[in-house]
Amino acid sequence: MCIVDRIEGDYIVCEVDGKEMLNIPKSAVDGTVREGDVLVCEKGTYKKDDHLTSERAKRISELTADFWS
């Protein structure tokens, strides 16, 4: 899984499988992305996977719910 960590200049910096960082040129990304989005690669182009991004956000929300109560 490739998760957007941050955007730096002309690159989108992603964490891949929780192990390594990958710098993806903005030109290789289809559409607009933001920190925390999950990207998938199809034919050399990266795009946001809305379903995986929503599932990840839901899991994080559930894990952090006890922190704020």
Tell me, yes or no, if the pTM score tops 0.85: yes
List C-alpha distances in Å: 17 to 33, 34, 35, 49, 67: 18, 18, 16, 15, 25
The distance from CA 41 to its chain's CA centroid, rounded to whole angstroms, is 12
Domains of the chain: 2-68 (2.40.50)
Cβ-contact 55, 43 below 8 angstroms? no
Residues in Cβ contact with 15 at an 8 Å cutoff, skipping those fewer than 6 apart: 2, 3, 5, 21, 22
| CA-based R_g, the chain, Å | 13
At residue 1, the pLDDT reads 80
Tens digit of each residue's pLDDT (9 = 90 or more) over 12-21: 999 999 899 9
Tens digit of each residue's pLDDT (9 = 90 or more) over 23-48: 999 999 999 999 999 999 999 899 99
